[in-house]
Amino acid sequence: MNVNLFDFHLPEQLIAQTPLQDRTASRLLTLDRHSGHIEHHTFTDIIHYLQPGDLLVLNDTRVIPARLFGVKPDTGAKMEVLLLKQEEGDVWEALVKPAKRLKLGAVVTFGEELRAVVVEERDMGGRLLRFEYDGIFQEILDRLGEMPLPPYIKEQLSDRERYQTVYAKHEGSAAAPTAGLHFTTELLERIKAKGINIASVTLHVGLGTFRPMSAERVEEHVMHAEYYEMPEETASLIRATKANGGRVIAVGTTSARTLETVAQRFADQPIQACSGWTDIFMYPGYQFLVVDALLTNFHLPKSTLVMLVSALAGREHIMHAYEEAVANEYRFFSFGDAMFIHG
């Protein structure tokens, strides 16, 4: 399947560069994945599409201030480091810029309290870095690091929490699971009061979710592995929801990837608590095992995320929905508007 099948024109002015002051003020496009029927709403109307007995599954990962700015002490060259995932101990996988300046054994210093040594070179600007410091790494990162906002967002947020979901709990992500940014605690309470169950999984968002397609054919793309956890409480609620005829609704593509990874892991058996690494890649032809509906933002043309939503609703329905979104000037990407795929 050719990657260009998932291309569309996105006017630059539709890329949301700042968050709305009110989390729930976003717009909501709803898409029936079977009929292709589209409706336009405000985000709080999502509650009308949720029914008692449904299960809403959130990704409770928390973004760390993963962007660091340092220098090479031997040359004074400025370096940018984006932490992706902790490999072991003080060794982290990272993206570095400019990568050509950081060869094996190179050193980067970040002020006087933190330094990193390159212990392995990887492709596309990837490096394994071993950090050296005195004290507690997370506290140093909180002082020195910046939130890893996408490159189209030009200014650092005055309030770091605006790039966190209100239910963020487990630290480890290099990016926010952005579909969840629309929710407030009050809206979630209203949803629970209607009889909808809410559960959490954890997937630490890294390079796998956002790495651009480099292959011309969809089938040739290899996803980067990301760490996930499925707690027993969530597994139990999924089993009960399915047994009672309710829907499992993923909030965000990261929740969907976690749910489908676990469903594949247990195949024809009931889902159980587990953890591990996933490089699952869903594109048209994939048969969903547990996810019935999906809340998501609008994504980049030719991205793995557009392919994932196309797997759920069909490429034709998704391309039409994106045409509608562009025509109606929906806001795209992390701080953009939302789409609910149901049916």
CATH of the domain at 322: 3.40.1780.10
Residue 225 lies in a domain: yes
Residue 288 lies in a domain: yes
Instruction: Report pLDDT for 218.
Output: 87
301 and 228 co-located in one domain = yes
280 and 236 co-located in one domain = yes
58 and 72 co-located in one domain = no
Average pLDDT over residues 26-53: 97
208 and 130 co-located in one domain = no
Question: pLDDT category, 144, cuts 50, 70, 90?
Answer: very high
**How far does the chain reach from its first CA to its final CA, in angstroms?**
26
CATH of the domain at 98: 2.40.10.240
User: Residue 22: is it exposed, middle or buried by C-beta count within 10 angstroms (0-12/13-18/19+)?
Assistant: exposed
Give the model confidence (pLDDT) of 190-249 as tens digits. Answer: 999 999 999 999 999 986 565 667 778 988 888 888 999 999 999 999 999 999 999 999
From 144, 168, 192, the end of a domain falls on 144
175 and 251 co-located in one domain = yes
Average pLDDT over residues 43-48: 97
Residue 155 lies in a domain: no
Instruction: Report pLDDT for 160.
Output: 86
Residue 151 lies in a domain: no
92 and 108 co-located in one domain = yes
Give the model confidence (pLDDT) of 270-325 as tens digits. Answer: 999 999 999 999 999 999 999 999 999 999 999 999 999 999 999 999 999 999 99
From 113, 144, 175, the end of a domain falls on 144
**Residue 302 φ/ψ, nearest 5 degrees:** 60, 20
180 and 294 co-located in one domain = yes
Instruction: Report pLDDT for 257.
Output: 97
**Domain assignment of residue 36, given as a range:** 3-63+160-342
Is the torsion defined by CA of 269, 271, 272, 278 positive or negative?
Answer: positive
- What is the count of structural domains for the chain? 2
Residue 290 lies in a domain: yes
Give the model confidence (pLDDT) of 149-189 as tens digits. Answer: 887 787 778 888 999 999 999 999 989 999 999 999 999 99
- How many helices and strands (H and E) does the chain possess? 7, 17
56 and 71 co-located in one domain = no
Residue 261 lies in a domain: yes
106 and 239 co-located in one domain = no
77 and 28 co-located in one domain = no
165 and 278 co-located in one domain = yes
Confirm whether pTM is higher than 0.85: yes
Q: Average per-residue pLDDT in the chain?
A: 93
Residue 167 lies in a domain: yes
Residue 210 lies in a domain: yes
Per-residue tokens: 138: 């997370």
Q: Which helix (H) or strand (E) holds 263?
A: helix 253-266
185 and 294 co-located in one domain = yes
